[in-house]
């Protein structure tokens, strides 16, 4: 059974774990540094969660953003990753459920996320725990190319 906890202090184990997990989600994202992790946890809108296995150490992560906008308090789930060696044990589900719980405690009206259709395990997981597909267009403006 893994322990889901919120990271409130930067330490080497957390930075190393995120650096190991991130390439399993994105091949282009630069690895985090102690500085970038510190910036995340210093932000009042950001909750960085990790899943810790008693033998394997940190095997998963999720980042929750909760913020107020004119229409209410909203929440987004981002960067959900379970280590390849630990998948299929409900870790992604446990991280997501904890994030939903935290968002609810902060008064969020909704929790949003996006996931490419090709991410089959992720899409199955989100639907299984109650996320519903929205009829909306997801846009992105890229500033870095």
Binding-site ranges for ligand COA (CB under 6 A)? 24-25, 80-82, 87-93, 115, 119, 121-122, 124-125, 128
Residue closest to 62 by CA, chosen among 106, 137, 125: 125
CB of 84 to ligand COA, least distance (A): 7
Which value, to the nearest 10 degrees, does the dihedral of the CA atoms of residues 109, 114, 119, 120 take? 40
Nearest-CB residue for ligand COA: 88
CB of 39 to ligand COA, least distance (A): 22
- Go through the chain and tell me how many residues it has: 145
Residue closer to ligand COA (CB basis): 85 or 143: 85
CB of 117 to ligand COA, least distance (A): 11
Residue closer to ligand COA (CB basis): 42 or 133: 133
Q: Which residues pair with 4 in a beta bridge?
A: 51
Residue closer to ligand COA (CB basis): 13 or 121: 121
- Is 84 exposed, middle or buried, given 0-12, 13-18 or 19+ CB atoms closer than 10 A? exposed
CB of 139 to ligand COA, least distance (A): 17
Residue closer to ligand COA (CB basis): 4 or 10: 4
Local structure of 78: helix, strand or coil: strand
The answer to whether 60 and 51 are in contact (CB under 8 A) is: yes
């Amino acid at each position: 059974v893994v322990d889901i906890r919120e990271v409130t202090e930067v330490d080497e184990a957390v930075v190393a774990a995120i650096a190991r997990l991130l390439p399993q989600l994105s091949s282009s994202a630069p690895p985090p540094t102690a500085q970038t992790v510190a910036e995340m946890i210093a932000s009042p809108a950001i909750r960085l969660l990790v899943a810790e296995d008693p033998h394997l150490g940190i095997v998963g992560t999720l980042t929750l953003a909760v913020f107020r906008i004119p229409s209410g308090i909203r929440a987004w789930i981002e960067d959900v990753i379970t280590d390849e060696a630990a998948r299929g044990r409900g870790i992604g589900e446990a991280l997501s459920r904890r994030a939903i719980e935290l968002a609810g405690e902060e008064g969020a009206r909704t929790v949003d996320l996006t996931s490419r259709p090709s991410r089959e395990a992720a899409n199955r997981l989100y639907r299984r725990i109650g996320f519903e597909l929205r009829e909306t267009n997801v846009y992105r403006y890229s500033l870095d190319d």
